[in-house]
Amino acid sequence: MEKIIKYGFQPVVNNVIHGQNDEKGKKLFKSKHVYGVVEKTNKIKTVITGKVVPQTGVSNFYDVTISVDSNRHVSNTVCTCKAGLEGKCKHICALIHYVNSPETSSSKTSLSQQWVLSAEMTKLKPIKLTVASMPESLKNTPLRKILELEEKENIVITRAESMLQMIQSKAKEVLQEKARKVVSDLFLFYIH
């Protein structure tokens, strides 16, 4: 099955192109010359494509394609401009800057934007519960037992926070890691 992303990209690592082309690419991105960016992941690979309008003559555009490996390192690059045949032009850099910009990437700053975008999600914000503050209706639930354990052992079991991050995260590896953490926390609870 293919996964398609048009917003909230995980950042990529550019080990391919540095120097002048990178600077020029950054300018192209900042002057909004990049559009139509799509990331597609299937079982074999992740490919990001986009269109970059050249600095001169806005009636045309170049098609840019970059491949990234499982660590999000840029592994292969192609652009339809003349210099792009070697895979090292400013348009490729512009696309990479677009993917890595806070406005489009899913890292750091955009996380708060996601919060703003989804009113339902903000309602899920974890609250600090203690055994003492626990409502009567929850007194005989597993949650109370988890809280008792947390207070007794002075540990924090990741519950709502982990679930929330799982919902927000788009990266499979992160999901798996969080799921493992939740399971191991619950296991810790049940063997006590």
* Residues forming the site for Zn ion (CB under 5 A): 62, 79, 81, 84, 89, 91
CB of 143 to Zn ion, least distance (A): 56
- Closer residue to Zn ion in complex, CB, 68/157: 68
Beta bridge partner(s), residue 4: 40
CB of 62 to Zn ion, least distance (A): 5
Rg, Å, the chain Cα set? 22
- Closer residue to Zn ion in complex, CB, 88/144: 88
CB of 82 to Zn ion, least distance (A): 8
Distance CA 192, CA 185 (A): 11
CB of 36 to Zn ion, least distance (A): 15
Amino acid code (one letter) for 124: L
CB of 55 to Zn ion, least distance (A): 11
- Closer residue to Zn ion in complex, CB, 55/158: 55
Distance CA 22, CA 3 (A): 28
- Closer residue to Zn ion in complex, CB, 91/178: 91
Joined together, the tokens standing for residue 99 give 């993917």
- Closer residue to Zn ion in complex, CB, 53/89: 89
